[in-house]
Amino acid sequence: MSKISLIIRREYFSRVKKKSFIIMTFLTPVIFAFFYGMIFYFSYKEIKDSYDRIVVVNENKKLTEPLPSDKNISYTYSSKSLAALKKEINGKDFDYILYLPDFDIEQPEGVQLLGSKQAGLSLNNRVADDLEAQIRNYKLKQSGITQQQLDNLKSSVSIDVKKLGEAGSEEDSSAGASTVIAFVAGVLMFMFIMLYGVQVMRGVIEEKTNRIIEVMISSVKPFQLMMGKIIGIALVGLTQFLLWIILTLSISTVAVGLFVDKDEAKKMAQTEIRPPGQMSGQEVVKQGPMQNIQKSLANLEVGKILAVFVFFFLGGYLFYSSLYAAIGSAVDSETETQQFMMPVMMPLLFGYALSLSVVTNDPYGQVAFWLSMIPFTSPIAMVVRMPYGVPVWELALSMGILVLGFIGTVWFAARVYRVGILMYGKKASFREMVRWFGYRN
């Protein structure tokens, strides 16, 4: 056991002391914050600052009301023909020509948006929405219904979602909050298993290529070497993950303090939150999905979800890393790993894809259950299911199966590893690895 601990310490400290590890650990949250901040900034700036001038050629005698203009778009009507305006378009007086032929209101066809530059998707959708609203208003007038009468027929329904706990107790719930957390957890799990699992494989290949492994194997058993390497890199990944959480929360807190008005935040904090049953109709409408998600986040067992995430991160990492270690021992360079990587990656990719599609839509179905039990997919599927609530017996069973799967995988990988690390100059195959598995000590 002391030899394994020595290898763990060597693998851990040799990596966390690297400049690249220190720089990327502290720089990654900043890069992500800057990246998403720039996306939101430019998206908002583009929406705020965009302004398009559209001249309308209306040959439709039924659509007599002008299209509404605002700060982002202006409609001006012209009596000139379409052919004449095509010759005049140069971007100085107007940007686009909207041509409305005398189409059938029930089947509007032939509408064109012309310009010296191609209209973007947002502009195209905006013009289409404005035309649809104009056609709808025309149909309402023809049927004798006013817009106010139509609005009076609408009723906003706010459903207060509750999850029944033990003894019939009610708990606030939200599919939106659960889906967001499940999506983030699934992506993180997939990313960490892939990232640090491949590090194990690269470490084995590097030591094997440099012939360091021959010196090390004279002092420790192959199984001890493999376990020490796997656990050491797992601790590196866990350290980096915890530091990212701390740094991300710190950056978020500082950003909120800098950009959110303190008086406004204080006013919002003092606002009384009343349940939907005690709200007026307008208050219910104003309470959007983000408020519901924020409310439900306070009722989620975040500590339990985080603890389960850490367990399945370590379990899934150990499960897959033993396979990556076996692959690394079977090849002499990273270019030879492609034929072995795909069979190992496919179950993980399969579980990732189904977890973020099937499991989030039906977290209690048969597919979700079996995905969260099979060790190849449970590290992702179970953390995706956790925000929706998982029975204790299912969670315990999944954890137990994952532990047994890890032990079995390590046993298999160790038998391949003990032979593969000393093989040089021979291209391995799956058939060859099966033969190594059958070798006796």
Tell me the pLDDT tens digit for each residue of 305-331: 888 888 888 888 888 888 888 787 777
- Res. 400 pLDDT band, cuts 50 70 90: very high
Nearest-angstrom CA–CA distance, 245 and 139: 55
Nearest Cα neighbor of 54 from 18, 15, 99 is 99
Based on the fold, state whether residues 214 and 78 are members of the same structural domain: no
Based on the fold, state whether residues 223 and 310 are members of the same structural domain: yes
207-254 pLDDT, tens digit each: 777 766 666 766 777 777 778 888 888 888 888 878 887 887 777 677
- Mean pLDDT, range 422-429, rounded to an integer: 65
Based on the fold, state whether residues 69 and 214 are members of the same structural domain: no
331-357 pLDDT, tens digit each: 777 777 777 778 888 888 888 888 888
Distance, C-alpha 374 to centroid of its chain: 22
Based on the fold, state whether residues 132 and 201 are members of the same structural domain: no
Up-side HSE of residue 315: CA atoms within 13 Å toward CB? 27
Based on the fold, state whether residues 185 and 55 are members of the same structural domain: no
Beginning with the edge strand found earlier in the chain, give each strand of the sheet holding 52-58 in spatial order: 73-77, 52-58, 96-100, 112-115
Mean pLDDT for the chain overall: 76
- Mean pLDDT, range 66-80, rounded to an integer: 85
Look at residue 106 and tell me whether its pLDDT is greater than 60.
yes
Based on the fold, state whether residues 241 and 109 are members of the same structural domain: no
Residue 276's pLDDT is what?
A: 41
The total number of structural domains that make up the chain: 2
Based on the fold, state whether residues 325 and 207 are members of the same structural domain: yes
- Mean pLDDT, range 425-430, rounded to an integer: 64
Q: Is residue 247 in a domain?
A: yes
Based on the fold, state whether residues 89 and 215 are members of the same structural domain: no
Q: Is residue 328 in a domain?
A: yes
Q: Is residue 159 in a domain?
A: no
Q: What CATH number is attached to the domain comprising 93?
A: 3.40.190.10
Based on the fold, state whether residues 422 and 316 are members of the same structural domain: yes
- Mean pLDDT, range 26-55, rounded to an integer: 76
Nearest-angstrom CA–CA distance, 247 and 259: 18
Q: Is residue 399 in a domain?
A: yes
Distance, C-alpha 326 to centroid of its chain: 30
Query: Between residues 119 and 271, which one has the greater pLDDT?
Result: 119
Residue 257's pLDDT is what?
A: 59
Nearest-angstrom CA–CA distance, 140 and 329: 74
Look at residue 397 and tell me whether its pLDDT is greater than 90.
yes
Residue 271's pLDDT is what?
A: 42
Residue 235's pLDDT is what?
A: 86
Residue 283's pLDDT is what?
A: 43
Q: Is residue 140 in a domain?
A: yes
Last residue of a domain, one of 125, 145, 165: 145
Residue 157's pLDDT is what?
A: 67
Nearest-angstrom CA–CA distance, 235 and 13: 10
Residue 399's pLDDT is what?
A: 92
- Mean pLDDT, range 79-103, rounded to an integer: 80
Angle, CA 89 vertex, CA 85 and CA 92 arms, to 5°? 130
Q: Which residues contact 385 (CB under 8 A, 6 or more apart)?
A: 182, 359, 363, 368, 372
Q: Is residue 42 in a domain?
A: no
pTM for this one?
A: 0.62
Based on the fold, state whether residues 244 and 393 are members of the same structural domain: yes
In the chain, what's the furthest Cα-to-Cα distance?
A: 94
Based on the fold, state whether residues 319 and 430 are members of the same structural domain: yes
Q: Sign of the CA dihedral 319, 324, 327, 328?
A: negative
Q: Is residue 390 in a domain?
A: yes
Domain containing 83 equals 51-145
Per the structure block, which two tokens stand in for 201? 């494989």
User: Residue 373 has what DSSP assignment?
Assistant: T
Q: Is residue 374 in a domain?
A: yes
Nearest-angstrom CA–CA distance, 67 and 56: 9
Nearest-angstrom CA–CA distance, 394 and 370: 10
Last residue of a domain, one of 145, 168, 201: 145
Q: How many residues does the chain have?
A: 441
**Backbone dihedral angles phi then psi of residue 334, each to the nearest 5 degrees:** -70, -25
